Structure 1
Amino acid sequence: MNLPFLLRRAFAVTPSTLAALLLAACAFAVPTEPARFAPLAAGALAPSIFLAQDAELRLSTGYSRTLPANSRWRAVGTLPQGTVYQRVDGVFSIEGRHVHEAYLVVKESALRGFYLPGEAAFTPLSPSVSLPLGAP
């Protein structure tokens, strides 16, 4: 075999590879702003919330997420935007160009956005979503 043929074959891009590259290039980054997170005081009673039914979310990145029914969330701190809740019975993440672990930021039973602990940042949810809170 000749060298030009080998080079063309080595750098050949299949349609499925090209589609995957284009989709990845189109993903939007999760918009963030610095967060002034204040953890709950050591030994403080951590309130929790329980979702009575699924809550569907559409993120500004174009991705969707579902907060599952019967999931439990424990308060871990506060932000100026609301109380920060971490999922107790699993891990919740949001996605844009990257995947980020996310905690809920809730004020007056409405999801206002997410606290991203790995980035120490807040990302707003617009519009906010009323959460179907219930008793376990």
Structure 2
Amino acid sequence: MIKPFHSTTYRRLLIAVSAVLPLFGCAPMIQTTPASIEQTASVSSHTIKLLAPAEITLATGYSRTLPDKSAWKPVGHLPQGTVYRPVGTIFTIEGRQVHEAYLVIRDSKLVGFYLPGEQNYSPLSNAVPLNLGEVE
């Protein structure tokens, strides 16, 4: 015998679905690992600029564009590469939260981001080639 569908069962189902549904709309968190910037003599003091824009797609599904002619000043080094902060602006990346981000560059490729507020490193799944020059 099939039992009739009771309104309490319907309410419980509705509450359960309502509680879980918002989780599907949340963006994924940005993958990070703890990192500390090292100040070394091998870090250049030359500010760099992008000679062409660079499109970045994060694992979170969000994308960012590094604008051409943007200037970046070296602030230190991580094992993954040299860390550059933007000059005259703030750069952010986004996942479940928005994070201030510095570029981590190795061999003229963007390999990830240093998140100064959290002191974390966030790798890119694919390195992005950058067309770089020095600020005169």
TM tier, shorter chain? 0.7 to 0.9
Q: Is the 8 A contact 2:47 2:134 kept in 1?
A: no
Quick one: which amino acid aligns to residue 37 of structure 1? I
SS at match of 2:128: strand
Q: CA deviation at 1:36?
A: 3.0
Q: Which residue of 1 aligns with 2:30?
A: 30
SS at match of 2:51: coil
Q: Which residue of 2 aligns with 1:81?
A: 80
Distance 1:62 1:114 in 2: 16
Quick one: which amino acid aligns to residue 125 of structure 1? L
Q: Is the 8 A contact 2:114 2:120 kept in 1?
A: yes
Q: CA deviation at 1:90?
A: 1.0
Q: Is the 8 A contact 1:52 1:135 kept in 2?
A: no
Q: Which residue of 2 aligns with 1:115?
A: 114
User: How much identity, in percent, do the aligned residues show?
Assistant: 53
Return closer, same or farther for 1:48/1:23 CA change in 2, 3 Å cut-off. Answer: farther
Q: Which residue of 1 aligns with 2:95?
A: 96
Mark the runs of 5 or more structure 2 residues left unpaired by the alignment.
Answer: 1-17
Q: Are 1:52 and 2:51 counterparts?
A: yes
Q: Is the 8 A contact 1:24 1:97 kept in 2?
A: no
Q: CA deviation at 1:47?
A: 2.1
Q: Is the 8 A contact 2:45 2:74 kept in 1?
A: yes
TM-score of the pair, normalised by structure 1? 0.76
TM-score of the pair, normalised by structure 2? 0.76
The count of aligned residue pairs is 115
Mark the runs of 5 or more structure 1 residues left unpaired by the alignment.
Answer: 1-17
Quick one: which amino acid aligns to residue 47 of structure 2? S
Between stretches 44-53 and 73-82, larger displacement belongs to 44-53
Root-mean-square deviation (Å): 2.2
